[in-house]
Amino acid sequence: MAKKVTIRDIAQQACVGVGTVSRVLNGGSVSKETRERVLKVINELGYRPNPHARMLAGGKTNRVMFIFPEMRNEFHWRLLKSFDLTLDGYDYQTVVYPLISDNRLKKLRSDKQLLKEVDAVVVATVPLDTTFGKRPDFAQPLILIEWVHEDYDCINVDNEYGGRKAAELLLEHQPNEFFAIQSYETNPMIADKHLWERFNGFKKVLLEAGYDFPDDHIIYADLFTGPPHDKVFEILTKYDRPAIFALTDNYALIVLQIASTLGKKPGKDFFLVGFDDQYWAREGGLTTIKQPVEEIGAKAAEIALKRIRNPDAPIEHVKFVPTVVRRLTA
């Protein structure tokens, strides 16, 4: 029977102290060169820490829970991938917990053991108030993505700024009518406040420019199925050179598909701006407002690790600024 590998074995082969190995395993402060050397030895020796034993000993589990609503577009996949890759560099694992039903939420709120098996919790695009309450009863550090709370680390995008830039792009073409394709979210576990921030920024610029924006020019869409096709058809056929702000690239894709069947050319017969810069947007020629999804995921992981190492560190409120990506549609 093979001898069980211990952190003393790792320390000896990596030519470091046991404390250094412990800091690497727990996400502590170690130079990049030393961390890489220790991780290499860990992989070579096949060492696997026992998370349950470490919990009983009051140590770290080297796990962070990532809570998110049901995935409806590539945003959450990209966010999760970036988050997990960053944690992996520090020998931490992501525990994925999707809130796809009320039962999943109830179980998480009632089963405290689930949360004891992680060192921190990240909640992404979930409305805190209606899910875990204004002050969640988590013993672990809590990091929020696309939600603002003065008592917790938060990572957000300046969505209102992004909406303003979308309006400015469309105004350059002096269109005759403006439209917005906005989400109509009925799932209480999906936050949509950031989408309304985009819309409000968009509308403010139009009003400042002297354009009226009637309520019936808001086309409500489902995040799964997109906007009603008949509404998009009506915009593209009834109005001359309309300008459309799709509050996610998903909606913009449907507009482009319908326009193609009608023989309408983007950037000439109509103008379109999306939001996200999804993978297909470049090939599709979509002018869009890019939010730095990978940077958000990486930053969330970095803050989680920092909070695990130092629970009393100052609260961080990070706001990323989206950027304009000009292509063919506007």
237-254 per-position pLDDT tens digit: 999 999 999 999 999 999
Number of structural domains found in the chain? 3
Rounded to 10°, the helix 7-14/32-45 angle is 120
* Structural domain harbouring 248: 159-292
> How distant, in Å, are the alpha carbons of 37, 138, 213, 250 from that of 209?
59, 47, 11, 28
Q: What is the pLDDT of residue 297?
A: 96
Residue 295: partners with Cβ closer than 8 Å, 6 or more residues away: 82, 320
Same domain, 299 and 245: no
Q: Does residue 145 fall inside a structural domain?
A: yes
Q: 3-state DSSP helix/strand/coil percent for the chain, to nearest 5?
A: 45, 20, 35
Same domain, 184 and 218: yes
**Beta pairing class for 317-320 and 271-276:** unpaired
Q: What is the pLDDT of residues 92-119, one digit of tens each?
A: 999 998 888 888 888 888 877 777 788 9
Residue 285 or residue 7, greater confidence: 285
Q: What is the pLDDT of residues 193-241, one digit of tens each?
A: 888 999 999 999 999 999 988 999 999 988 778 889 999 999 999 999 9
Cα(50)–Cα(91) distance, integer angstroms: 13
Q: Does residue 1 fall inside a structural domain?
A: no
Q: What is the pLDDT of residues 129-180, one digit of tens each?
A: 888 877 777 778 899 999 888 889 999 999 999 999 999 999 999 998 999 9
CATH number where 107 lies: 3.40.50.2300
Residue 130 or residue 191, greater confidence: 130
Q: What is the pLDDT of residue 57?
A: 46
CB 22 within 8 A of CB 7: yes
The pLDDT-based confidence of 330 (bands split at 50, 70, 90) is: very high
CA 179 to chain centroid, in Å, comes to 26
Same domain, 179 and 280: yes
Same domain, 110 and 235: no
> How distant, in Å, are the alpha carbons of 56, 190, 248, 269 from that of 195?
43, 11, 9, 27
Q: What is the pLDDT of residues 289-314, one digit of tens each?
A: 999 999 999 999 999 999 998 888 89
What type of residue is 91? D
Reduced to 3 states (helix: H, G, I; strand: E, B; else coil), residue 96 is strand
pTM value is: 0.79
The pLDDT-based confidence of 59 (bands split at 50, 70, 90) is: low
Residue 128: partners with Cβ closer than 8 Å, 6 or more residues away: 134, 136, 144, 147, 149
The pLDDT-based confidence of 265 (bands split at 50, 70, 90) is: very high
Angle at 65 between CA 62 and CA 70, to 5 degrees: 150
Q: What is the pLDDT of residue 56?
A: 43
155 forms beta bridges with: 145, 318
Alpha-helical regions (H) of 46-95: 51-56, 74-88
Same domain, 253 and 163: yes
